[in-house]
Chain A
């Protein structure tokens, strides 16, 4: 059986042009310098790297928010260039995103019900009743209840808000979910709950995840494949076991060394060193 590729990126480049003042010279920042990868249906690709390496730029291109400067983006085998063509609602529904900070990504003046029905109102021709039912169904699916429908975001904890953000992303039945640091703003125990929820949803809905993170312990837990980015380039790409077992690039090694380790052997080693 051939691989079921849901999304393919070929040599993606993204440049940001900024000017110093009205007549100043043009500065070109290459945030992505030619990124290629394939996403297999039902699997999780983790993208790792530090701030400024282009992770979020990549997320914006894949979710069809920004166009790529060069390169091709293929979703389910179809080439998409948002600089040239208008995106159909159907296309919009295929890729959805969950942002890092659930305190910033929900409108404080919008009830949860409206948060969930707005994408349906824009992208589908469902009746209000159908939209309402769909939103209720999603609330239950992410572990909240119908009683939360009329509440405002400030009445929820961080973990619950992130559940709402996930429900909003899922309401259009996407096949690919971009998760931009979805658990890094959460407490450890809440992080575990959200990771469990994501694993359950992936199994139930056959979702594909692109999981952006800088936390290697989370990546190791959730990823099938891992892509390490450094200054806009992919420096390492492989299955989880390949990358974690035998990191090739110096930056990956630095990253592994810098990650704090919470195992007993490591603590013993440190105490022995300082004693």
Chain B
């Protein structure tokens, strides 16, 4: 059985111009131990789908789905109280801006401790030991000192490591990473991706990687979902997607990569759009 199963998910937002459909009948399924990438440009609905799973949509968001199940638990009908038991423990998420997602007013130690306090039975001493262990596992030098630091005293890459430490604190079964490396330098990006892949391989958790970067997809994913304007364009395993893309949009996206440039000019997705194939 799949870890997370979503069938025909539609997300709409109320706006001053009426309802806007951000995601249109998209289905996903993720197995334990699998890395699934959702790739698309801004406005493709790639983050919205996972925010719906987390229950993090703003009040003007409306969800419709035939099925939205995590390990037999129905995420659609779940009470907020039940949801809070699952979110942060069995499902957790890492966001794009590591510095913005940490609270600037509290130390790293305090923020990791919060998660552990909420979801585990450990006492204070054990929690501290666990926090040190977590920081160690994400490769932070001097974990004890880091616990006393504030987010502004660390670099972006270090903050992202702390975010990952918090996300894996309760050994989640599913980790959702929303553009985890977009704000980081390439060398740091490599470290963070390696770390995520390493943790995933060790723990056997399911990992959903939301990204717009085809390079990141190629480096991490087992299976890929390509989205465009809220619709699923294509779903395939990573090799067949790059080797033999079926959808016109996927082909356009791949040919817009500068490293695939054949002639003087880069083909753009609007070229594809004008031809009117695709969606």
Chain B neighbourhood of A258, CB < 8 A: 186-187, 189-190
Given contacts A221-B266, A262-B218, A262-B259, contact A271 B239 (CB under 8 A): yes
Contact call A50/B186, Cβ cutoff below 8 A: yes
Given contacts A217-B259, A264-B243, contact A199 B189 (CB under 8 A): no
A101 at the A/B interface (Cβ < 8 Å)?
no
Contact call A189/B218, Cβ cutoff below 8 A: no
- The tally of residues in B whose CB lies under 8 Å from a CB in A reads 39
Chain A neighbourhood of B212, CB < 8 A: 187-188
Given contacts A216-B186, A264-B239, contact A192 B256 (CB under 8 A): yes
Contact call A255/B187, Cβ cutoff below 8 A: yes
Chain B neighbourhood of A268, CB < 8 A: 239
Residue of B nearest to A187 (CB): B41
Q: Mark B202-221, 1 if CB is under 8 A from A, else 0.
A: 00000000001111111100
Give the interface centre of B242, B253, B254, B260 by most chain A CB atoms within 10 Å. B242
CB within 8 Å of A: which of B168-223? 185-190, 193, 201, 212-219
Q: Which of A195, A196, A260 contacts B213 (CB 8 A)?
A: A260
Give the interface centre of A214, A222, A260 by most chain B CB atoms within 10 Å. A260
Could you tell me the distance in whole angstroms from the C-beta of B229 to the nearest C-beta in chain A?
12
Contact call A260/B218, Cβ cutoff below 8 A: yes
B269 at the A/B interface (Cβ < 8 Å)?
yes
Given contacts A192-B256, A217-B259, A264-B243, contact A255 B268 (CB under 8 A): no
Chain A neighbourhood of B265, CB < 8 A: 196, 199
Give Cα A195 to B263, complex, Å.
13
Contact call B215/A192, Cβ cutoff below 8 A: no
Q: Mark A249-260, 1 if CB is under 8 A from B, else 0.
A: 000001101111
CB within 8 Å of A: which of B155-179? 156
Give Cα A258 to B218, complex, Å.
13
15 other A-B residue contacts (CB within 8 Å) besides A188-B214, A259-B186:
A50-B187, A158-B42, A188-B256, A188-B257, A189-B269, A192-B267, A193-B268, A199-B265, A215-B186, A217-B258, A221-B261, A260-B218, A261-B219, A262-B259, A267-B238
Please name the 6 residue pairs, one residue from A and one from B, whose CB atoms are nearest each other, closest first. A260-B215, A189-B269, A221-B258, A258-B190, A50-B185, A192-B266
- Residues of chain A touching chain B, judged by Cβ–Cβ distance below 8 Å, are 50-51, 158, 187-193, 195-196, 199, 214-218, 220-222, 254-255, 257-264, 266-268, 270-271, 274
